[in-house]
Structures are given as structure tokens and as C-alpha cells.
Chains A and B, each alone.
Chain A
Amino acid sequence: MTYTIEGRTGPWEVVIGLEVHAQVTSQAKLFSGAATEFGAAPNSQVSFVDAGFPGMLPVINQECVAQAVRTGLGLKAEIHLWSRFDRKNYFYADLPQGYQISQFAHPIVGTGTVEITLADGSTKPIGITRLHLEQDAGKSLHDQHPSKSFIDLNRSGVALMEIVSEPDMRSPEEAGAYLTKLRQIVRYLGTCDGNMDEGSMRADVNVSVRKAGEGFRTRCEVKNVNSIRFVMQAVEAEARRQIEVWEEGGTVEQETRLFDTGRGVTRSMRSKEDAHDYRYFPDPDLPPLVLEADWVESLKASLPELPDERRARYVAMGLSPYDAHVLTLERETAAFFEAVASRRDAKTVANWVTGDFFAALNRTGLGIEESPVGAEALGELLDLIADKTINGKIAKDVLAIMFETGERPGAIVDARGLRQVVDTGAIEAAIDQVMAANADKVAEYRSGKEKLFGFFVGQVMKAMQGKGNPALVNEVLKQKLA
């Protein structure tokens, strides 16, 4: 079903393309040796190159190039063995050189594809147009002084990957799913930490609307949107604005807009007429970037398993597509799952991780890395079920105690006497007691009301404080009721 927005003149289709800026995970900047750590004191990570001092020259950081290639490979994209850096010229106080070094005409990565998964379980391929490397600018701080602006150059020169998609998305959900997937891929690859609230990933959202069957209409670019939720909101707000313009007989002008997160609307930033003439030309300080095919191959060979492949492997292990999807969303979750699932039944582990474990973790509000219950402890709990020390119901209680106290499951079971009862004598005694107390129900059952079997199981388990082995209880009960 195609997503549409209903206007006065009928349904409108939305066309979306994203330009995502992803900060490259690296020790040093793209063209200088300065550090890149987030949150350092202002202007404490700035070399003379980053500050654009006279006579300073850029030198490419090979690790940043490797990260861009890895990302390109993760996007199933073409790696260009020959690429080039250009200068994008404009004046701004936080742009020390007066130009940004970027790849305009010849990016390092060409066309690729990302497959997104939607809520209904369906998938859709989204085309990647290109990925290029560029420097970040510094940061202007306008709120530190009543009449002055301050400049922090820590970000100046930090390596960014600009990942440009085709206009292949048709709904806010698809845009959100695409950004989620992109973030998932770079985090799996370790090429970008994906921290959108620290600005490590931000998106420029291109939106246009059209009637079914039409070609593209004029698009607007909503700049610097910094969360997946805001991207989805911005798409809808901008699409609705454009529909209104068209339906009132107006024309959408190509322009750059900003998303006001407070009011949920987009505002005009600059029109096409005010657009900069960036005077791109090849940076004469940098020779073309030439990669050796062998080097690219070695990066490819050492690439970690990507989410799509991992998900397929999990399905092959017997997991449901949904569980496989959920478990592979974050690299850390998948690692946790695999740590528990090694030497254990994958499907059982998946059920526990996505079920009770996630539920308990959600209640704590903690991430999987800070979980008070580690993979080893959860594994021990599942082993206690497998060797029939406890049953599944008791295990849920033990897990809750584990989250509360951090104790190991074996210790909890021992200290609280939760070991399940497999002694047939004890089970028979409990059954006899329940049957004696419910003679009327026994009669009903025997006269054909077999639905009552569940009632007896419940009563017996209750009498045994839940510790009865469910299979044994079932078996003995069936014999006695016969």
C-alpha cells in the first residue's frame, strides 16, 4: 500500500531522499593529526592546519580513507580506486581556511543499495547515489556573550562521510527505516558511532510531493535534522506544507529550510537565489586519491558480518524473521545473543532474550552493555531450566531477582529453595491432596469435562509453590484422573 497524504484535491505521494553526514570514527582528523574526541574543552584539539594558518598543508589520514571504503563496502557500493578532493569555497567564521575540502566531482564511493525493513516485515531496496569524504567545519557559539560570537574549532577538520541516497523513499516510515538501517550498518562496521545527539550523524532531508503517476516536482531541503524521529516528523511537516502551497495554486520554490522541532514546522533558511556559488575546483594541495585494488580487497576480507547477513544466519539457525531482525538491530545485542546462544539452543535463547530479558532491561532503563545480568549469568539460568533444576515459570522469577540483586541464578535457586520437584512421591501426594479437596471437580472431569485438566495442573503447582516439574505433574495427574 502506497503511503499518501490526503489533500483537498486528493491523495499526494511523498518523495524523499536523504543526505546523511556521518562522522568517521578515527583517532585523528581527516587532514591533520589533531584528536577528535567528543566533549573536549573548546579549541583544545586544534592543529595549525585545522586553524588555517599560513603555509599549513593538508595530509590525508589513511585510516579515514579505510573507514570510508569499509562503509562503501557495507553499502554494497562501488569503490572508486581514483577519487579527488575539491575545495568548496565560502566565508564563515567557523571555516578557518575559507574553504571546505570535500569530494565534489569524484567521490570515493559510487552507487550502492541499502535494504530497509518496514513494520509489516516487508523489505525495500533504497539506492545509494554516492559517499564522499569531507572536512567538518568548526562550531559558532552565539549564546556565550551578549554581543560576541565564540568559535570552537575542535570539530574543524574532523572527517565526515556524506552518504547521499536516491529519492527512493515514499513515506516518513521509510525515511526513518533508512536512517535506522544506515546507522545500524556504520555501527556494525565501526566506521561511525551513530550518536545523533552528539552530532555524529545528521541528515539533510530532501522532500517533494506529487500526484500518482507524475514525474518529480520541485524539492526542498530540510537541513541538519539530528534524530530519526525528527526526520520522520520533518518529512511529514514539509510534505504537508508543500501540498498546501500547490493546492492553493502556488508553486513550491527550491530552497533550504530548517525544522523547528518545538513547533513541528519547517522554516525557510535561504532561497535558491541566495544560494552560495561555492566555486568548486580541485584542491591543488592534494594529489588524486588512488587506492590499490589489493588494499580494498583486504579491507573487504576483514569486514565484520553485516546486519543483513547476520539476520539471514539467525533465520537459518531456526529463529523467526522477527526475532532475527530484533536481535540484529544493534551490534551489541547480537553479540549478547551469540554469547548466550553458544552451546545452547538458539531458539530458546532468542525467546528469552527478546522476551523476559528485554522486558526486564527496559524496566531498568539501561543499555545492554550496562545490563546487571550479563550473558554468562543468563546462560546459567537457561542451563538450570535445561537440566530441569527449575522450571520456566520459576526461571522468570529468578531472572527478576537477578536484575534486582545481581546475584547468580544458582545461588538464588539454592538460597530460596526453588529447585523443582521431580520426586514422583511428592507430586502424587500433592495431587491426592488436590483431588480430595475438589471431589466435585474430579467427578465433573471424569464425566467428560476435560477442560478442567488445566485447573488441576494449576492447583497442584500452587500446592507445590510452583516448583513441580510441569511434565511430571501432567503425566501423574493424567494417570490419577483417569
Chain B
Amino acid sequence: MHPTDFTLRGAIEALNEGIISSVELTQAHLDAIAALNPRLNAYVTVTGERALEQARASDARRREGVAGPLEGVPLAIKDLFCTAGTLTTAGSRILASFTPPYESTVSANLLRDGAVFLGKANLDEFAMGSSNTTSAFGPVENPWSRANDPDTRLVPGGSSGGSAAAVAARLALGATATDTGGSIRQPAALCGVAGMKPTYGRCSRFGIVAFASSLDQAGPLARTVEDCAILLRSMAGYDPKDSTSADIPVPDFAAACARGVKGLRIGVPKEYRLDGMPAEIEALWQQGLAWLREQGAETVEISLPHTKYALPTYYIVAPAEASSNLARYDGVRFGLRVTEPGSDLRDLYERTRATGFGTEVRRRILIGTYVLSAGYYDAYYLKAQKIRALIKRDFDQAFGKVDAIVTPATPSAAFGMDEKQDDPVKMYLNDVFTVTANLAGLPGIAVPAGLDAQGLPLGLQVIGKSFDEETVFAVGAAIEQAANFTALPRLRAGA
């Protein structure tokens, strides 16, 4: 067995049993990155030497009998998490040479638990995108390809496309990611891996480059549901440096994966049955529900009546917050500065931001600025906040009747890098099943559940009650077990 084929849990066991050292495991991943990253572009920055240094230190700790829960496990870190002393770009030209002197709380928690960082994963610029094509450092390629059309390069989804592609191609055992409207779950589904967006407030946002503060949430991507659970336990926790982080205990998520679904009531929202949705996605959804019934769950049709307003609401709230969050990239204190002799302050702003931000980021700043403007605020931002409250109420009412909700993760499988690029609204539709959980602040997981006719992975999504990630993991693990998803991408280490 190739060392990169371990699951994260399997690797921890192998390290514990002395079957492999962290240095060996890390080196194997670095070799895989060297071989495949030039093609996949999943990593923006590879910190090989540092990773080996961390691995050696980890092996030394293990010899001394002090091993953290993630001791020696090599991970990819989405390049939205600030890492002290390591370039942090947010996929943007404006931060192309930014090295933060501080560590995000989530990545610090992983280091505390013994993790090794292989490098920084590519992403859509400032996490704005659903195909990882907006990165200033080039698009990420999905390691999967269509059976009858292997030459068409596919997108990995976004914005955490680098994280998902790295995990799928065995360039990391797991990865951190962030999810503002589906940025963990959508790429997980498109790359055939598991991805968990926890409840808003479960992970600290301190040190994560902000996109939309009321929606952003960090979470794990890994090849199994249990691996996500193990990672999340280390990532999560109250942080006094983030006023929106929740001061509640972090449960043993991995233990919850084995709970089973017997007696659970699973909600099936009728509004998620979209016109024009591929039949195989509908079929997979029904299959998933059948698997859960076979394991003792009951499925119940529910209604989430305001679902159709979720995408427009999201595309008002998220750009509004982004337009303000991204004001700090002004060329004054850090990052890119574009100026000419004789430039005044306004000129400095205009040149820096026009050069530093890509098209999609600029589009969202413009939308956000517009919806917050005097005379438009009530019609857009305030209205969107009201609808957001209604969407949350839909879920509250549904969770009076059911324990979890199961839906498709995405309306389609991975698409070609040059598809959907001409029409932003078409691109935005990728998040139609995922944005609702962000607007309501709820936990959601995407689990690989099958393949489409082209041999591309499709995922199902489980949405749970606020701070009830445990049930989400239990249902996710049940689907995973029944699906027995063993297919492998064409581009992967050891293949």
C-alpha cells in the first residue's frame, strides 16, 4: 500500500504502531506533490522543508511519548488561513507577497495537536467562486475526468478547490477549508471526498482572511466522514479572539460517526427538487434515502418554503459584507501597492485595487457597494436580512419534526474549466443546495455517494441542527457506509 493511500485515521494508527514515521509519510506526500502539483495546481505554496522539520519534531515527540491527536499527520492548509512565517495569498494578487506574522486559531489548533503542514492550498480569489478558476495563481484541475472524454480538464469546484483536489489526488491526508456558501461541500462533492461545514461559531474565524463574516466558517476536507470528524475536533473550540465563536464544549465527533441512524427522522425538503436537475442526481438522492431507511431511519417529506430566495439573498448579504471586508486592501500598510510618481491617495487606491483584484472579486465588491448604498439599503440588504431570518425559521420549524435533512450536494457533477465561465449567474447556481445552511448557520456535510454516467463523483448533503454536528456525522457515515464509494480519480499519487 502506498503511504498516501492511508486514510487519516489509518495513518494515525500506522504512526502509533510504528509502521511508518511522520517523516516517511510526509516525504511520500511531498513526492506526490512534486509529481502531480505541476498539473493539478492544488497547492499555491509547498513548504517542503518546513513540513519535514515539523515531521522530524513530531517523530521526536512520539518517541518521547507525547503524541497529540494528529501527531505527525500531513495536511494541506487552504491559503485563506494565515500561517505565521508562510506566504498567505487568499488566491489574490493583492496579497501575492503577504507573509503574516501570526497564525490563525484553527491552524494553530492543528499544530498544537501535532499536525504537519505540507503547504498552502489554492482557492478561488478571496474564496469567491465555485470552480477554483478565479485564483490569481491559476485554476486547479480536478483529478477526476470523464470516462468518455478524459482530455477535458474539469474544475474541482470552489472555493476550496485546491484543498479538495489535494485530498482526492492523495496529495494530503486531509485539508482545512472554509465554506461561505458551499465552498467546502461543493468541491468535496465534485472531487469525491467528504467535506464538513460546521455550525457557524464552532471554529474560530481569527486569522482567516474574511470574505463574508456572518457566513464564513472553517471546516475539514478528508477522504472519509470519520477523518473529517477527527480533524474537526482539533480545529474547533471557543476562541476569545473571535466574538462570534461559541463558548460550548467540543464533543468527540469521531465517536458520533458510529452511532448509526436507527430511529432518526430524516427530512426530505420538497423544494430541493429542481426543474432541469439531472435524473441521476434525483436517483442518487432517492438511493441515499433508501439506504438510510434500510438502516432504521424514517424519511419524512418536509417543506422549506423560502428556499427559492436563498441564492439571491446570499448574493446580497455576502457581497455586502465582502465589499466592506475587502476595503482594507488599499496598498497603504501591507500587500500590493501600485503607484506612480505624483500619485495622490485616490490614485493609489484605484491603481492598487484595480491591479490587485480579479474580475469576480471586483464584481462582488461592486454588487456589495451597490446594495449598501443610500436609497438601496432597504430594498436589498435589509430585505435580504429579513428573508435570511425566514430561511432560518424554515429550518427551525423543520427541525421540530426531523433530526437531520438529506439533499443532493450539488446540482451537477464536475464541469469543464471553460464551461459556465461566461455567465456568473449560472456559476452561482452551483451553490443552490448549500447556501441555505450558511444563511441559517447550520452544520452540513457532503459525502461521496456515487458516480454519474460519465464516472464522475456525486455527493449527498446532510444538514443538521445548530451545534448538532454529531447527528450530521452519524447520518453522513451511514450514507458513506452504504454507498461504499471506492472509485478513484485518474490523477492520483501511486496510480
Contact = CB atoms under 8 A, between A and B. Distances in A.
A57 B242 CA distance: 6
Residue with the highest number of chain B CB atoms closer than 10 Å, among A54, A59, A277, A286: A54
- Most chain B CB atoms below 10 A, which of A57, A98, A280: A57
Given A60-B243, A96-B332, A287-B244, A55 B327 contact: no
B82 A279 contact: no
Nearest to A52: B328
Nearest to A59: B243
Interface stretch (A86-94, A358-366, A369-377): A86-94
B123 to A, nearest CB: 14
A472 to B, nearest CB: 75
A193 B373 CA distance: 37
B209 A287 contact: no
A284 interface: yes
Interface in A54-70: 54-60
Contacts of A99: 324, 327
Interface in B89-148: 90, 95, 98, 100-102, 104
Interface string B69-91: 00000000000011000001010
B369 A279 contact: yes
Interface residues of B, number: 43
The SS class assigned to the B binding surface is loop
B372 A89 contact: yes
Nearest to B98: A54
A56 B240 CA distance: 12
A55 B329 CA distance: 12
B62 interface: no
Interface in B318-339: 320-321, 323-324, 326-328, 330, 332-334
Given A91-B349, A286-B243, A54 B214 contact: no
Interface stretch (B17-25, B46-54, B185-193, B200-208): B200-208
Contacts of B261: none
A53 B334 contact: yes
A38 interface: no
Interface in A252-300: 277, 279-281, 284-287
Interface in A88-135: 89, 91-93, 96-99
For the side of the interface on A, what is the size category?
20 to 34
Nearest to A91: B349
Contacts of A96: 328, 332-333
Given A54-B82, A55-B82, A55-B208, A285 B373 contact: no
B238 interface: no
Given A98-B328, A151-B332, A281-B377, A55 B207 contact: yes
B381 interface: yes
A196 interface: no
B212 interface: yes
Nearest to A60: B243
A341 to B, nearest CB: 48
Contacts of A93: 330, 332, 345
A281 B320 CA distance: 9
A48 B324 CA distance: 18
A58 B328 CA distance: 14
Nearest to B213: A284
A53 B100 contact: yes
Given A54-B100, A97-B328, A279-B374, 8 more contacts: A53-B333, A55-B208, A89-B323, A91-B330, A93-B330, A98-B324, A98-B328, A285-B244
30 contacts: A48-B101, A48-B102, A51-B333, A53-B334, A54-B210, A55-B81, A55-B206, A55-B210, A56-B206, A59-B242, A60-B243, A91-B327, A91-B330, A93-B330, A96-B328, A97-B328, A98-B327, A99-B324, A151-B332, A277-B373, A279-B372, A280-B377, A281-B320, A281-B324, A281-B377, A284-B212, A284-B213, A286-B244, A287-B243, A287-B244
